[in-house]
Each structure stands twice: as C-alpha cells, then as structure tokens.
Amino acid sequence: MPSLYDRADIYDLIENEERHGWYKRHWETVLRDTGIHSLLDVSIGSGSVTLPLAELGVQLSGSDLSGAMLENCAKKADGQGLSVELKRSDFRDLSCWAGRVFDCVASTGNSLPYVPNAEAGDVLARMDALVKPGGYLYCDTRNWDAILETRQRFYLYNPFFDGDTRVNLMQVWDYPADGSIIFNLLYTFEQDNRIFQKEIFEERYHPIPRKLLLDALAELGYQEVEQFPFPAFVNQDPEQAEWYCVLAQKPLGIV
C-alpha cells in the first residue's frame, strides 16, 4: 500500500490560509520569550507546520525521510522567497547534521510515533545532540493515551477544495494486536457530484504514551518541560487536547 508521503501533492491539499495562520500563531505562542533564532525540524515534510517559522524570522533547517515531501517544501519555500536548508535523512540517523547545533531541534507533525517506542528515546537523544546548551527540544504529537482509551476507528474530515474539485478525506484506523495503529486514508476527488478519482494510503504508527516522552526527556537531563495543546493558542488542558506539544529546555551545563 503506498505511503501518503510519496504523494506530497495530495498530502498538502488539506492546507489553506486558515491553517497557515494557526501554525504561525502556534509558534508565536510557543516560542515567546525563548530567544530561539535557529530551528531544525527532523521531520519537516512539506514544511506546512514549520515554514511559517521562517516567515517569523527564524533560521530554518529541515530533514525528512521522504524526497517527495522535501521537494514540495523546497517549492513552497521558493514560492514565498524563504530560505530553508533541507537534507534527506531518517531521524534515526541524524549524522547529516553532525557538527552543527541549533537553538531548537524539533520533530513536528506527529512524526516520532513512526518508530517503535523502543527507538523513540534514541531518536530524542540524537536530536538532543544537536541542541545548544540552554536550547530547546520540541515535539508535537497526537494524544495517544486518549486515542487508546476510545479506540475510535472512523474519522470523516470536512471537505476541502482544489479549484472546482471537491476532495473528501476519510480515515479508518485499525488496531492490530502488536499495539501499532494503522491509518487507512481514503481520498475521493469529485466534480459535479461525481467521483472521478480515488486514492488509498496506509500509515502505521506506534502510539507513544505521554509518560514515555516525558521520561525520555528527563533521562536526557531536561528538567524544564512545558506542555501545550496543539495549536498552543487554544485554551485547553494539554492532557485533554487531541494533539499536544512539549518544549523542553536543555540545562546550560549539558553539552
């Protein structure tokens, strides 16, 4: 079954001005008073979430496993006259950034749960190695604890539009016995109330418990860990939010 990230053009159809504005406000809220001027996103994808940072004046770098997603990111950055340094890399091996340090190293878009829980701590350690002393590690994720409580299977999104084409997205989630969750994504494309194209993708996630994430950060020496709902400007308890993010400050003494 193909991955949605091979079809960055379809992945990006959900984006619009309103969502772009949310991401910008999200970063304004999260980064307030942090003094972050450089940020590396190790799962930048097509840049929907992090390109707005470049607009806010942050020096943005990014890597991702998917060449198609990176290509779209570069196109979007060019179109907006933004400068972003991009590399293709698995976040389980961040050697392409060796010798560099950033004010903040991030993994955006619920991407850390692509690796099994046993590997997530190691990814965070590799990200941590690229954070300046006093800098920050950031990660946003779905609220997997809440998902595992309800085990909801069917998700229907509001339609979005590509010119005069209406795009419908439905997801059906499977919960196999190994503890992973498979997202089955069905996109239908229609004009004049007639579907003329269907695309199906499959993504496998490894639900990451909040405690595992917070324990892994504590083990790396991060004592100052803030949690926000995602997006951060909504007035919601991050424990209850559908998505949340963590921003952890690296102690100055740790190199």
Ligand X SMILES: C[S@@+](CC[C@H](N)C(=O)[O-])C[C@H]1O[C@@H](n2cnc3c(N)ncnc32)[C@H](O)[C@@H]1O
Q: Which residues bind ligand X (CB under 6 A)?
A: 5, 43-46, 48-49, 64-66, 69, 90-92, 108-111, 114-115
**Number of other residues whose CB lies within 10 A of the CB of residue 12:** 18
Q: How far is CA 229 from CA 15, 22, 242, 253, in A?
A: 20, 12, 8, 29
Question: Based on CB atoms, which residue is closest to ligand X, 8 or 196?
Answer: 8
User: What's the CA gap between 216 and 234, in Å, rounded?
Assistant: 26
**213 burial via Cβ count (<10 Å: 0-12, 13-18, 19+):** buried
Question: Based on CB atoms, which residue is closest to ligand X, 17 or 192?
Answer: 17
Question: Based on CB atoms, which residue is closest to ligand X, 66 or 227?
Answer: 66
Question: Based on CB atoms, which residue is closest to ligand X, 31 or 224?
Answer: 31
- The CB-of-105 to ligand X minimum distance in angstroms stands at 13
- The CB-of-192 to ligand X minimum distance in angstroms stands at 31
- The CB-of-196 to ligand X minimum distance in angstroms stands at 26
Task: Tell which residue, 143, 140, 215, has the closest CA to residue 181.
Answer: 143
User: In the Cβ-directed half-sphere of 160, how many Cα atoms lie within 13 Å?
Assistant: 16
- The CB-of-125 to ligand X minimum distance in angstroms stands at 15
